[in-house]
Structure 1
């Protein structure tokens, strides 16, 4: 039934009207069952699955970018009609969420032991950066809302478990998780940005810096930007290889986390 403005409502066991809220997450919508007898049959009655659609989308996005992974393109890849896919994945944002969670499953911490929280968080950061470099479309389309897919939640659980025993309030745990994630994703996004720019312009970061040197000298000589000039003259980190720059910055993040933990907490 509907209310006076046409919004759907349900009647609970008490007889009172309860508003029916449309799920905003693909994970809150049950997946359509795949009819086993028709899974591989051709024609309009063939059944598909979210995992099948997601795998095709990731293949296309890895090769050509996220925008290339349209419903029409995916449908052609798996032999379906474009409109058919919306029965399984209703919205474009749902597809992106499925893709992000699927590749998150590539991070693997099973059976690994660590000497302390610093070593564990370093492994998490290294794997997450590698994931973004392997799937550069992650840097171009991350939703603002949290993703509550099984792989993403497993990753969250493992990361937070690193701090078990430190008796931290939930908000502090969230802050530490955000600090680490923001550094890794920010660094990886810059890396992907440079890689994509080099792909299209054939000018990588080192070549860009070489060609920019004359203008940089003009800026320094103007005397208007003393702090910028000091950065140019004294920086060492900017000239390191990406792996070294990543780990140097990561150590600063670890130091910040260490300062947040109780003084008795081993690293």
Structure 2
């Protein structure tokens, strides 16, 4: 039966048929590797093994890992939606943007790590940022104030995701709670009464509500109407 995986289709005897590889298939394979093994596992030799081709064959479609990461970012960010509507105000625009990006980064953890390493851009993101800035300046902010608000919300979203990723899986939640129990057990209760009293709260893994609470507090602090 023919392979149903587009990244591995077109192979013959474990190797890919000549001319069967495309840039789109390369990006699909790179995305699969990052999902399963993490961004640090993505290398040209690893990608070649996954695709069943030679490393130089990949270089016939992408210039190198840096360009590959850019293509990967464009793929993940493609179609990012934030329920755009004109006239909803800067606060609501920032909220919708943050929630959309937060959800996409949790869905594709590599995106969060890429955001800390390189400039990420795509036509979809350009449209979103243009819309956010338009809503913020329509509220009476200067363009500089609008950019500051956008960057602060972006930073909050990225930081929240990086904190959540290693703590939100079912096994990770249990491990996180167990770590707090063991940590508090080593602390004298008389010396650290508040930490012991807060044990149940501290051992609770971050949830979506925590991100939303932080976002609300940030927007309140910015005075975003």
TM-score, structure 1 normalization: 0.65
CA distance in 2, matches of 1:133, 1:189: 9
Matches within 5 A, 1:193-204: 193-195=166-168, 198=171, 203-204=174-175
Indicate the residue corresponding to 2:5 in structure 1. none
Gaps of 5+ in 2: 1-9
Q: Sort the Cα spacing of 1:254 and 1:183 in 2 relative to 1 into closer, same or farther, 3 A.
A: same
Q: Sort the Cα spacing of 1:216 and 1:102 in 2 relative to 1 into closer, same or farther, 3 A.
A: farther
Indicate the residue corresponding to 1:221 in structure 2. 191
CA distance in 2, matches of 1:111, 1:186: 24
Bigger relative contact order, structure 1 or 2, given CA contacts below 8 A and separation 6+? Answer: 2
How far the C-alpha of 1:192 sits from its partner, in A, is 0.7
TM-score, structure 2 normalization: 0.75
Given candidates 15, 18, 22, the residue that maps to 1:48 is 22
* Deviation digits for residues 147-188 of structure 1 (CA, Å, limit 9, x no counterpart): 333233233223323314134333322211110011111011
CA-based RMSD: 3.4
How far the C-alpha of 1:245 sits from its partner, in A, is 1.3
Report SS of the residue matched to 1:137. Answer: helix
Q: Sort the Cα spacing of 1:96 and 1:196 in 2 relative to 1 into closer, same or farther, 3 A.
A: farther
How far the C-alpha of 1:140 sits from its partner, in A, is 3.3
Looking at secondary structure, tell me which structure has more helix per residue. 2
Range moving further from structure 2, 176-185 or 106-115: 106-115
CA distance in 1, matches of 2:156, 2:84: 26
Indicate the residue corresponding to 2:94 in structure 1. 121
Report whether the alignment pairs 1:242 with 2:175: no
Indicate the residue corresponding to 2:109 in structure 1. 136
CA distance in 2, matches of 1:70, 1:92: 7
Aligned residue pairs total 211
Larger Rg: 1
Report whether the alignment pairs 1:205 with 2:168: no
CA distance in 1, matches of 2:217, 2:200: 15
* Deviation digits for residues 185-242 of structure 1 (CA, Å, limit 9, x no counterpart): 101100112247955xx85322222222223446x617xxxxxx76775799755861
CA distance in 2, matches of 1:236, 1:196: 18
Gaps of 5+ in 1: 1-39, 223-228, 262-266
Given candidates 16, 33, 36, the residue that maps to 1:63 is 36
